[in-house]
Amino acid sequence: MPDLFVASSNVTSLSPEDRRLHLRMLEAILFAAAAPLSAAELAAKMPEGVKIDALLHELQTAYASRGVNLKQAGEAWAFRTAPDLGFLLEEHRQEEKKLSRPALETLAIIAYHQPVTRAEIEEVRGVSTSKGTLDVLLETGWVRPKGRRRTPGRPLTFGTTTEFLDHFGLSAISDLPGLAELKAAGLLNATIPPGFDAQPPFGEPPTEDFLDEDG
Amino acid sequence: MPDLFVASSNVTSLSPEDRRLHLRMLEAILFAAAAPLSAAELAAKMPEGVKIDALLHELQTAYASRGVNLKQAGEAWAFRTAPDLGFLLEEHRQEEKKLSRPALETLAIIAYHQPVTRAEIEEVRGVSTSKGTLDVLLETGWVRPKGRRRTPGRPLTFGTTTEFLDHFGLSAISDLPGLAELKAAGLLNATIPPGFDAQPPFGEPPTEDFLDEDG
Amino acid sequence: MSGKADFFEEDAAPAPGEDEVLLIDVDGFEGPLDLLLALARNQKVDLTKISVLALAEQYLAFIESVRSLHLQVAADYLVMAAWLAYLKSRLLLPDPEPPDEPTGEALAARLAFRLKRLQAMREAAAELTAREKLGREFFARGMPEALAGPGTSETRWQAGLYDLLAAYAAKRARHFASSIQLKKRTVIPLAEARERLMRLIGPSTAWTPIDQYLAEYLARPDMRATARASALSASLELVREGEIELMQASTFAPLYIRRKSKEKASA
């Protein structure tokens, strides 16, 4: 049976194309793997009769001086960042958190109605905004105090930052679709009462003192 | 053992060690990230003054024939497994986002005509956009607002994102299949281009008096 | 046409099968341009060689056949039909040309251009879907490692533009819903209608159109529907109780009402 011969043949007896293909295959499997894989698991994904250990060691040597190394931990193999480049990585993984619904709503209202005071946000949201929600938004770096309204109590107003535009892939705040555009895009399922502007109220002259950004 | 990474060194103003370190760093950063990173984001993580584009292209060449390739998606870059090895990775296959025919058609119009307004999309399709078309496309993250047209009403325009390019394996919008031909045929124009041959309206076979062209 | 064809109905229509398919698909078309494109493809020729005139005729015939079946045809299909009829006349009777208007040929070329453009986008969409795609044919790193960010914050916040827009839209929608001033609808309660009807009819046992008793309400558009509805419900109730009688000659004919005579009621 030919299989027996393949199994007994050593790596060098394969054509260079086959060896190259096997290396490529191994590379792709290890790259896409969600967890380190043992030699046996890898062999099961490769063509039958492949000398997995020889291939793994060849790949390990090829990557030894690169920014990414092929590491063996116990029985399992995985690509990892070279240890001397560890400074590029987070020491402890940053926690990825989804913005809560109230935070998302508040952020959207700030984006659409900026500069806007907390009382005005609450008026649109219809519920009081907890201090935590605004704190989270300030922590994201997407929202910052913009100034004080020249009304009794001189309330603080909020607006969005450049990081906000970067994160949401907008070139300007005016890229946000207006109410009529939200409706046309199928995002707003309500009749817009007459008197509500088709476009969001951008570019209104500020009637407030701006905070000193450097201060 | 053959060096699998035969990088041609065109960038020789730096010491070979520095250049090698920069390549390793770039490799490590790009390997670590799952999502494409823009050249600017990459540059921010690299030592100052590094020629990021030259390094990226060098890395791309080094990986071109490997099981893992460095792919460009607009401004952004990411390592992706070679498409011909997809058969090995079926276990990782994600459920495809099934788009309706109108949504797909709208996506194609946005991709080929961008930046394009909703009214222009409707003009091409000959129907008004129904719910579940633009909103669904925005939800996929493949489409985003791209600024406002400087025409009356300042309508919002739409365009495609880095995720779109990444998903469809396009290095740039100019890579869209048939884009150049469609452009040359005037089929991406909003209006009928001059010289677009009037169709024989009476159902005659097209007149073939090519001789006239020289006259 | 040969005389023989007149005797055989199945020969009269050249391709009945195709028409049937189109009829069944009428709901499947996405607007008049889509229908035109389908008809153009049925010409079984390259789109560059379509005859706009033939196409216009096919479209008009198709819409006519759909209408003859008393099927609802959406307005934009009819608008296109009207435009194509106009185009047809412009193509067949090129003189005299109305000044300041594009020629029939130019209009036809414009239509052909739009069809070609739509077809090109259909093909582009198909080519896009046929591509090798992320997560299908090629893949990202399975074990990404977290990169050191510029900040030192513990959390990386996740939010997409779609979520942001959807949140805002939902909030505004609820706001609109709560701020809508519902016009107070005047509704005549059944009890009131009944009492009123009995009072108006009085002792009269003569057949009288019910509308006559409602004249006061029928003059007011906002009251018309509720007055009729309440009066009808009340009258049905009164009939059941043997107080009154109703008569209608035919569907939609005036409804006549009278008090049931006491002798009959007691009989």
Q: Which CATH number is B69's domain given?
A: 1.10.10.10
B131 touching chain C per CB within 8 A: no
User: For A34, which of C143, C154, C179 is closest by C-beta distance?
Assistant: C143
CA distance B159 to B112: 9
- The pLDDT of residue A74 is 85
Query: Which SS3 state, helix, strand or coil, does residue A178 take?
Result: coil
Strand A156-160, strand A37-38: pairing: unpaired
Contacts of residues A53-62 at CB distance under 8 Å and 24 or more positions apart, as own/partner, are A54/A10, A54/A11, A55/A11, A55/A22, A55/A23, A55/A26, A56/A26, A58/A11, A58/A23, A58/B1, A59/A23, A59/A26, A59/A27, A59/A30, A61/B1, A62/A23, A62/B1, A62/B3, A62/B4, A62/B5
Q: In what order do the strands lie in the sheet with B76-81?
A: B37-38, B76-81, B68-73
Residue B88 lies in a domain: no
CB contact under 8 A, A28 and B144: no
Q: Is the pLDDT of residue B9 over 70?
A: no
- B38-85 residue pLDDT tens: 999 999 989 988 999 999 999 999 999 999 999 999 999 999 999 999
Q: Are residues B122 and B37 in the same domain?
A: no
- The pLDDT of residue C151 is 54
Query: Six-digit token pair at C71?
Result: 């099927």
Within 8 A of B112 by CB-CB distance, chain C residues are 121, 124
Query: Which SS3 state, helix, strand or coil, does residue A109 take?
Result: helix
Residue B200 lies in a domain: yes
- The pLDDT of residue A58 is 93
Local confidence band at A131 (pLDDT 50, 70, 90 cut-offs):
confident
Residue C191, number of CB atoms within 10 A of its CB: 11
Residue given tokens 């793997």 in the structure block? A33
Domain residues for A34? 10-82
User: For B133, which of A23, A34, A186 is closest by C-beta distance?
Assistant: A186
Query: Which SS3 state, helix, strand or coil, does residue C259 take?
Result: strand
- Quote the mean pLDDT of chain A: 83
- The pLDDT of residue A95 is 73
- Distance between C104 CA and the closest CA of chain B, angstroms: 9
Contacts of B8 (CB under 8 A, 6+ apart): B58, B61
CB contact under 8 A, C113 and B29: no
CA distance B176 to C125: 11
CB contact under 8 A, C51 and B201: yes
Local confidence band at C204 (pLDDT 50, 70, 90 cut-offs):
confident
Dihedral through CA A169, CA A175, CA A176, CA A180, nearest 10? -140
- The pLDDT of residue A23 is 94
Q: In what order do the strands lie in the sheet with A116-117?
A: A116-117, A156-160, A143-149, A208-210
Contacts of A44 (CB under 8 A, 6+ apart): none
Q: Are residues B69 and B101 in the same domain?
A: no
- C151-185 residue pLDDT tens: 555 677 888 999 999 999 988 887 776 555 556 66
| Mean pLDDT computed over A131-150 | 91
Residue A89 lies in a domain: no
Among residues C39, A76, C156, C31, which one has the least CA distance to residue B133? C31
Residue A1 lies in a domain: no
Identify the top-confidence range among A7-16, B84-93, C218-227: B84-93
* Inter-residue contact B172 to B74 (CB < 8 Å): yes
CB contact under 8 A, C151 and A141: yes
- Name the closest residue on chain A to residue B7, using Cα atoms: A66
- The pLDDT of residue B53 is 94
Q: Is the pLDDT of residue C18 over 50?
A: no
| Mean pLDDT computed over B120-138 | 89
Local confidence band at C213 (pLDDT 50, 70, 90 cut-offs):
confident
- The pLDDT of residue C70 is 63
Q: Is the pLDDT of residue C266 over 50?
A: no
Q: Are residues B136 and B194 in the same domain?
A: yes
One-letter amino acid at B206 equals P
* Inter-residue contact C188 to C213 (CB < 8 Å): no
Helices B52-63 and B16-32 cross at an angle (nearest 10°) of: 70
Residue B3 lies in a domain: no
- The pLDDT of residue A9 is 43
pLDDT: which is higher, C20 or C112: C112
- The pLDDT of residue C20 is 41
Q: Is the pLDDT of residue B166 over 80?
A: yes
Q: Are residues B106 and B78 in the same domain?
A: no
User: 3-state SS of B43-100?
Assistant: HHHCCCCCCHHHHHHHHHHHHCCCCEEEEEECCEEEEEECHHHHHHHHHHCCCCCCCC
Q: Is C8 exposed, middle or buried (0-12, 13-18, 19+ CB in 10 A)?
A: exposed
Within 8 A of C166 by CB-CB distance, chain A residues are 187
Q: Is the pLDDT of residue B140 over 50?
A: yes
Query: Six-digit token pair at A189?
Result: 């399922």
Alpha helices in chain C (DSSP H): 9-12, 16-24, 32-42, 52-68, 75-92, 104-130, 161-179, 190-201, 210-213, 215-218, 221-240, 262-266
Beta bridge partners of B158: B116, B145
Q: Are residues A196 and A163 in the same domain?
A: yes
Residue C257, number of CB atoms within 10 A of its CB: 27
- Quote the mean pLDDT of chain C: 76
Residue C79, number of CB atoms within 10 A of its CB: 11
- The pLDDT of residue A205 is 42
Q: Are residues B70 and B102 in the same domain?
A: no
Among residues C242, C206, C260, C220, which one has the least CA distance to residue C228? C220
CB contact under 8 A, B105 and C122: yes
CA triple C71-C77-C78, angle to 5 deg: 85
φ, ψ (nearest 5 deg) of residue C20: -60, -45
CA distance B113 to A142: 31
Q: In what order do the strands lie in the sheet with A76-81?
A: A37-38, A76-81, A68-73
pLDDT: which is higher, A197 or B50: B50
CA distance A129 to A125: 8
pLDDT: which is higher, C237 or C154: C237
Q: What share of chain A is helix, strand, coil (3-state, %, to 5)?
A: 45, 15, 35
- The pLDDT of residue A197 is 56
pLDDT: which is higher, C154 or C232: C232
User: For A104, which of C145, C156, C167 is closest by C-beta distance?
Assistant: C167
Beta bridge partners of C121: none
Q: Are residues A38 and A129 in the same domain?
A: no
- The pLDDT of residue B214 is 34
CA distance A51 to A28: 17
- C59-99 residue pLDDT tens: 998 888 877 776 666 777 888 888 899 888 888 876 666 66
Residue B69 lies in a domain: yes
Q: Are residues A192 and A126 in the same domain?
A: yes
Local confidence band at C263 (pLDDT 50, 70, 90 cut-offs):
low
User: For C154, which of A94, A98, A170 is closest by C-beta distance?
Assistant: A94
Within 8 A of B19 by CB-CB distance, chain A residues are none
- The pLDDT of residue C267 is 39
A90 touching chain C per CB within 8 A: yes
CA distance A79 to A73: 11
CB contact under 8 A, C159 and A104: yes
User: For A28, which of B32, B88, B155 is closest by C-beta distance?
Assistant: B88
Q: Are residues B102 and B205 in the same domain?
A: yes
Identify the top-confidence range among A122-131, C9-18, C119-128: C119-128
Q: H-helix or E-strand containing C247?
A: strand C244-248
Among residues C267, C259, C84, A24, which one has the least CA distance to residue B69? A24
Local confidence band at B115 (pLDDT 50, 70, 90 cut-offs):
very high
CA distance A128 to B213: 75
pLDDT: which is higher, C15 or C40: C40
Helices A101-113 and C161-179 cross at an angle (nearest 10°) of: 80
Among A82, A116, A137, residue at a domain's last position: A82
One-letter amino acid at A158 equals F
Identify the top-confidence range among A143-147, A193-197, C230-234: A143-147
| Mean pLDDT computed over A167-186 | 90
Residue B76 lies in a domain: yes
Residue given tokens 């935590």 in the structure block? A132
Residue given tokens 């281009």 in the structure block? B193
Q: Are residues A43 and A124 in the same domain?
A: no
Query: Which SS3 state, helix, strand or coil, does residue A19 take?
Result: helix
Residue A186 lies in a domain: yes
Contacts of B211 (CB under 8 A, 6+ apart): none
- The pLDDT of residue C131 is 93
Within 8 A of B111 by CB-CB distance, chain C residues are 124, 128
User: For B27, which of A68, A176, A185 is closest by C-beta distance?
Assistant: A68
Percent of chain B with pLDDT over 70: 81
CA distance A40 to A175: 53
- Distance between C173 CA and the closest CA of chain A, angstroms: 5
- How many residues make up chain C in this entry? 267
Residue given tokens 């190259």 in the structure block? A20
Among A59, A82, A105, residue at a domain's last position: A82
Local confidence band at C228 (pLDDT 50, 70, 90 cut-offs):
confident
Q: Are residues A47 and A149 in the same domain?
A: no
A121 touching chain C per CB within 8 A: no
Residue A184, number of CB atoms within 10 A of its CB: 22
CB contact under 8 A, C173 and A189: yes
CA distance C116 to C119: 5
- The pLDDT of residue A37 is 94
- The pLDDT of residue C24 is 37
Within 8 A of C137 by CB-CB distance, chain B residues are 83, 86, 169
Among residues A169, A157, A66, which one has the least CA distance to residue A119? A157
- The pLDDT of residue A204 is 45
Instruction: Indicate the number of domains in chain A.
Output: 2
Among A21, A48, A82, residue at a domain's last position: A82
Among residues C171, B23, B122, which one has the least CA distance to residue A101? C171
- The pLDDT of residue A148 is 92
CB contact under 8 A, B203 and C54: yes
Give strand ranges (E) for chain A: 37-38, 68-73, 76-81, 95-98, 116-117, 143-149, 156-160, 208-210
Contacts of A72 (CB under 8 A, 6+ apart): A56, A60
A48 touching chain C per CB within 8 A: no
Residue given tokens 């605004």 in the structure block? A134
Q: Is the pLDDT of residue A160 over 50?
A: yes
DSSP label at residue A76: E
Q: Are residues B160 and B113 in the same domain?
A: yes
Contacts of C96 (CB under 8 A, 6+ apart): none
Query: Six-digit token pair at C5?
Result: 């064809």
* Inter-residue contact C213 to C201 (CB < 8 Å): yes
CB contact under 8 A, C161 and A191: no
Strand C155-158, strand A95-98: pairing: parallel
